[in-house]
Each structure stands twice: as structure tokens, then as C-alpha cells.
Amino acid sequence: MNKLTIGELELHGKRIFLRADLNAPLDGGKVSDDTRLTAVVPTVRLALERGAGIILASHLGRPSGKRDAKYSLAPVAERMAALLGQPVPLAPDCIGPETSTLAKGVGPGQVLLLENLRFHPEEEKNDDGFARELATLADCYVNDAFAAAHRAHASIAAITRHLQPAAAGLLMKSELDALGRILEAPKRPLIAILGGAKVSDKVALVEHLLERVNALLIGGGMAFTFLHALGHGIGRSLLERDRVDTARRVLEDARRRSVQVVLPVDAVVASGLDAPSGHAVGIRQIPEDQMGLDIGPRTVERFADVVKTAGTVVWNGPMGVFEKAPFAAGTLGVARAVAAGAGFSVIGGGDTVAAVNQAGVADRIGYISTAGGAFLEFLEGRTLPGVEALTEAAR
């Protein structure tokens, strides 16, 4: 993506409106996981070192367009101050006279965090007047919130009509570079691993990837709809009956394109999600009263053999109900196989990232995307409003 980046901006003496994704989980009034906060720190530090002042903006949760104390960014301000080693005061709002006065007082090397953008319904409506008011707070715009780039919201899209130039932050650039590497010029073979519960969540992604990948490995609950489409008995496993024809069409399309589709050959089955344990059976031996809740060990080996051959691997979605210990081995096994492969690997989606961290192999993954929905939509080939709104770089 040929977009202007923060490294190309003249930052000294400027106030930057930095849209970040600081939507962190809170527990007892404290940030309980600062992954998204630490991800934006390099961009903040770069701007501060180059003599800029920063107006930092984000949403938190879903406050339904009205002020709600439990969605205040106060805990985020406190944690950001600790990460940066300097004060990060919180403005009382993201617009208004008091906030405007505070923003005008932000000098080089200082940071002001605006209160939750979603306290105003105009944010999610991509309201032009609201965006114009946000734009008055700064001299230029930087978006480092790739995880929210698929939202046409005022602080992501409309604001760029009033505040230019609009550049990508370091995190945004990293995301676009890594995902662009998959779609535009991947080292082959390009292998996609898809899991998760439902085919319906991944139809567009599967169809887009079939035009690009050399092999598609399918696990998770969605695999059982494909297996049913092939005539296998799947017991009480998850089945989307209205997607069986879709699965057949995908398999036929893959065959026509000479794309290898690898489905589970065994599964870990149990009577239900709360079962204390499960046992592996061949895919043709799933009992009628049991459900498949993970891929089995032979499938993990089969997937690992394909991954070994990959020049590039992209993975989204767990292989089973991995948050429950009896059904985690498949997802963790695939995580270790991806980490052990010689190819460039990219993973995205909260569950997939959690699995890689749980397996202790995050440091051996080529790129871990911070995004969920935006990650999927980008790989589906959709135009992301937050990316489209950025200024084109000079060629």
C-alpha cells in the first residue's frame, strides 16, 4: 500500500492527532492486558523524539454514544504514563472548549489523551461536523489503529477531510507491509490455515484466498460442515446446514484451481463442552452421540507436514475449543508447527494470538497482527476505510 507514513512527516513543533487502538481490557479500574498500548508506544516515542506534541485518541468498549464512567480512558492514561515514563493527562472530553484549550497547550515532547471518542454518537456515525471539531486540535493526522481501520468512524475516516497530511503510524505500516506481503508477493508455497467455529464467518475469506494460496488447511468447528459436505458422519459436531452447499462449492473451486485442501483425518470427541476429557477417533468413527471439539493428533501431524513446505503461512482461527484444556492440544500443536516452519508466518485474531502465546512460541512467529476484524477484511480483499483515507505517498 503506497501510503504516507509518519517517518516522512516534518514533526518538529507540530501537534499530531494520533488515532490509536487503546481498547484494552480493564479489571478493577486497571488495565489488565496492555498489549495494544505497548503496540503504539514506538510511534509515540518517534513523534516525541522528533519534537512533536501528541493528541492521543481512542475508543474503549461500547458505551452506546453516551458518557459512562466504566468506559473512561483514565486507567489507560495511567498505564500509558507508566509505559512512556512521563505524564499523560486525560482531557475531560474529546471535543469542547476545555479540551481545545488543553490541546493548544500541548508542546513538543508532551502527550494529551482525549476521553473516549465513543462517548459521542457522532464518532460511529462518521459525522463530518464532529470530525471537523476533532481536526481543530492538531496540525496533522497519524493513524496507528489498524485494528479499527475497517470502521468508517469520524476519527478514522471523516477527520482526514479536514486534517492533512494523514499518515500511517509505525504499527499501521507494519500491518500493511506484513499483510501486503501475503497478498501481493508471497514466497511460495503460500499456505493458509483457517479455524474457528463457523463457515459463515469465513466464506468471503476462503473464496478470496483460493485465488492466491497453494494449500488451505481447515480445522475448528467449521471443518465439520466441510466433512459433512463430503458425506462423513459427524455425530453431534457443529454443523451449519445452510452452508453445506457453500462448502461443496469451495471444495470444487479448490479442485479446479489445483489448490490442496487439507481437512481433519481425526478428531478429539466428547459428550459436550464441559466433559472432563476427550478421546481421539478417526474422522469416520465419530459416535453419533459425541461431538468433535478439537483436531486429533494425526491431523496435527498432517498439518505440520504441509506447513514445513511453506514459504509463507497465514493463520486465523483456533483448531478446537482450545480455551478448555482437554481440547487445546490441536491448536497448540499447530501453533508450534507454524513457529517451527522456515517460512514467513503471519497470524491474526484474538484467539489465535492467545493460542500462540499459550504455546510459548510468539517470539518465533514472523508477524502477529493486533487486529481481528480488520485482519480478516484485509485478507478478504476489502477496502478498509482507515487505510483508504490515508494520504498517498509520493512515488
Please identify every residue annotated as catalytic.
36, 198, 350, 373
Sign of CA dihedral 381, 386, 392, 395: negative
Q: Can you tell me the distance from the alpha carbon of 359 to that of 365, in angstroms, rounded to the nearest whole number? A: 12
CB-facing half-sphere around the CA of 391: CA atoms within 13 A: 21
> What residues are paired with 315 via a beta bridge?
193, 347
Q: What number of residues does the chain have?
A: 395
User: Please, which residues bridge with residue 54 across strands?
Assistant: 16, 111
Burial of 281 (0-12, 13-18, 19+ CB in 10 A): middle
Torsion of CA 352, 355, 357, 362, to 10 degrees: -60
